Amino acid sequence: MIGYLIRRLLYSIPILVGVCFLTFVLFYMTASPGEIARRNLSAKNPTAQQIKDWEHQHGYDKPKWKQFLDTTEGLFLLRLGRSDSVKGERVMTRIKESWFPSFEIAVLSFGAAITINLSLALVVAYFRGTYLDIYGTSLCVFMMSVTYLVYIIGGQFVFGRLLKLTPVAGFLPGWESLRFAFLPVVVAVISGMGASVRQFRTFMLDEMNQDYVRTARAKGVSEPQVLFKHVLKNAAIPVLTTSVQAIPGLFLGSILLESFFNIPGLGNYLVDAINSQDFAVVRAMVFIGALVTIVGYILTDISYALVDKRVRLE
């Protein structure tokens, strides 16, 4: 297993270089350094000299391949550098400031979603074949068919404007943040509910058709016992792996949710950086995002091997 991990980590190096290259190419296709300089210089009409100075200061005057090598090397050593914007703050400082809102919302919605979805799936699987099951699965398909936007706009309208229970958008630090996190978490849970419950139900029903379940029933084990003791344990494997896959998303925060609810988290930071064409920030954040995603995949494999003894990592 250690050998497998080392090989996976080594394999992730070319992938990360590829990600850096992709970001680099895409960014040079959208904007030239001159344009970025003009946008970020404080002077209204910068002279050619000012633009040159700015490019020199941010390292955009070197040959392209040198720029690529320098920045990629910096990212691999986790020297994230400074933002290209006027203030020129360190990317690391911003990450330290804004990781918490992303983390809070992500952890809350992840925990709430997995608890609720798993319980609902258990209920639906327990009552399989009855009207509850049929209506439940139909409701899941209905919920899958509503766009994310309607959940967000509807949630803001109902909770924020009509009932005035929660703020419509924004964020405050400390305990106050829970009030602001409530609505995004509800939207995240509800928008993912339909697909997840249906998927978890399929996992459970797959297990219910196995021979060991028939044996357990034949031995006279009661139906709830079969469901909660035998089936749940075995269905936990696919449930776990699909859930671990969601962990990378926890770090960058749901990019969409943060920009919709104006939460000053990492996802919002990234979207702002794209819109203001702040290459230094985009580069760093995409790198971190890719790093976390790859680590997430490796974690998925490990958790798979830990839960299911039949799986061997080679």
Partner 1 sequence: MIPFKSLLTFSNLVPLLAIIIVLGGIKRSGRQPLWAEAYRRLGRNRAAIFSLAVIGIYCCIAVLDSITWKSNTLAQPESVITHLFHAMHVKSERTYSAPFAKMTTGEPHPHPLKGWHVLGTDGSGNDVLLQTLRGCRTSIIIGGFTSLLITPVAVLLGMLAGYFGHRVDDIIQYLYTTLGSVPGILLNIAFLLVLGPGLVNLCFALGITSWVDLCRLVRGETLKHRDREYVRAARALGVRDLRILVNHILPNILPVVIITVTLNFSSLVLSETILSYLGIGVPAGTGSWGNMIDAARLELARDPIIWWNLTAASTALFILVLALNVFSDALRDAVDPRLRSS
Residues that bind partner 1 (CB under 8 A): 14-16, 18-19, 22-23, 26-27, 29-30, 137, 141-142, 144-150, 153, 157, 161, 198, 202, 205, 252, 255-256, 259-260, 270-271, 274, 286, 289-290, 293-294
**Residue 213 C-beta: closest distance to partner 1, Å:** 17
Tokens representing residue 172 in the block = 């405050």
Task: Determine the Cα–Cα distance for residues 271 and 193; give it in Å rounded to an integer.
Answer: 26
Task: Determine the Cα–Cα distance for residues 234 and 239; give it in Å rounded to an integer.
Answer: 9
Phi/psi class of residue 220: alpha, beta or left (left: φ > 0; alpha: ψ in -120 to 50)? left
Task: Determine the Cα–Cα distance for residues 290 and 271; give it in Å rounded to an integer.
Answer: 16
Rank residues 177 and 241 by Cβ distance to partner 1 and give the closer one: 241
Residue partners of 251: CB distance under 8 A and separation at least 6: 102, 103, 106, 266, 288, 289, 292
Residue partners of 64: CB distance under 8 A and separation at least 6: 28
Rank residues 129 and 174 by Cβ distance to partner 1 and give the closer one: 129
Rank residues 22 and 69 by Cβ distance to partner 1 and give the closer one: 22
**Residue 161 C-beta: closest distance to partner 1, Å:** 7
Rank residues 27 and 99 by Cβ distance to partner 1 and give the closer one: 27
**Residue 302 C-beta: closest distance to partner 1, Å:** 18
**Residue 52 C-beta: closest distance to partner 1, Å:** 25
Q: Which ranges of 146-231 does DSSP label H, i.e. alpha helix?
A: 148-155, 177-208, 211-218, 223-225
Rank residues 15 and 69 by Cβ distance to partner 1 and give the closer one: 15
**Residue 29 C-beta: closest distance to partner 1, Å:** 5
